[in-house]
């Protein structure tokens, strides 16, 4: 019994300790708790149970109202993740390896790299045009601050295996608690093929499709 308890203790302690060592090695200690969580999430294997549990449970041919509402919440989380990745990538001291991983994770939030994005009155640009600057740490924007993310248009079916909806949000001026403008983020829920170990499944996935 003592041996089992000791093994459980090692299993519980070892991953966090290893992660802290890796973060120290790469010099990527986050300046906020949210950024630290983002950096830790970059260590998650896409085939792990953590990743698989996010949306893979939605494998049915049709989605119920409860499932659609859950995916709308997931869309809001993905939009917030996008903002947090932008803020993380604005840090000039972010390690190159973590920067590249963060760019890939940011890109994976969207349906493709041709989506149009505009924040805080900036000119619209395609995601593919944003990525090189983000990866080379040549962006000059300040920290983006978003609040009151809500569903603007509930998910509605737009195809045999696709739903569409949108979120509304408020943008605050940098380092100020003043609303600069309201915005809208569009998202899709569509069936995509996912590889989980040796098994491939068609699952519903939330993907951002534009920000204005």
| CA-to-CA separations, 193 to 30, 49, 76, 120, 207, in angstroms, rounded | 33, 17, 22, 35, 14
Q: pLDDT averaged over the chain?
A: 75
Render pLDDT for 35-44 as a digit per residue (tens, 0 to 9): 455 555 444 3
The mean pLDDT value for 91-111 works out to 90
pLDDT at 138 over 70: no
DSSP alpha helices (H): ranges in the chain? 2-26, 33-41, 49-55, 65-89, 96-108, 127-135
Q: Which residues contact 31 (CB under 8 A, 6 or more apart)?
A: 91
pLDDT at 96 over 90: no
Indicate the number of domains in the chain: 1
Distance (Å, whole) CA 167 – CA 115: 16
What's the pLDDT band for 82 if we cut at 50, 70, 90?
very high
Render pLDDT for 161-189 as a digit per residue (tens, 0 to 9): 899 999 999 987 665 565 667 899 999 99
Of 135, 114, 137, 139, the residue nearest 125 (C-alpha): 114
pLDDT at 137 over 50: yes
């Amino acid at each position: 019994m003592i041996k089992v308890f000791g093994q459980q203790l090692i299993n519980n302690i070892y991953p966090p300790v290893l992660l802290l060592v890796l973060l120290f090695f790469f010099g990527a200690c986050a300046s906020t708790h949210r950024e630290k969580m983002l950096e830790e999430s970059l260590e998650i294997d896409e085939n792990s149970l953590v990743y698989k549990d996010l949306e893979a449970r939605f494998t049915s041919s049709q989605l119920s109202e409860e499932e659609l509402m859950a995916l709308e919440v997931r869309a809001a989380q993905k939009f917030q993740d996008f903002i947090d990745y932008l803020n993380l990538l604005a840090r000039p001291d972010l390690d190159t390896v973590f920067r590249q991983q963060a760019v890939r994770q940011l890109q994976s939030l969207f349906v493709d790299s041709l989506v149009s994005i505009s924040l805080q009155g900036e000119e619209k640009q395609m995601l593919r045009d944003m990525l090189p600057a983000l990866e080379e740490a040549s962006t000059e924007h300040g920290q983006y601050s978003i609040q009151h993310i809500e569903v603007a248009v509930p998910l509605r079916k737009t195809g045999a295996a696709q739903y569409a909806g949108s979120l509304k949000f408020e943008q605050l001026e940098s380092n100020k608690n003043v609303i600069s403008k309201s915005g809208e983020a569009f998202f899709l829920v569509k069936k995509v093929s996912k590889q989980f170990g040796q098994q491939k499944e068609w699952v519903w996935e939330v993907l951002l499709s534009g920000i204005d």
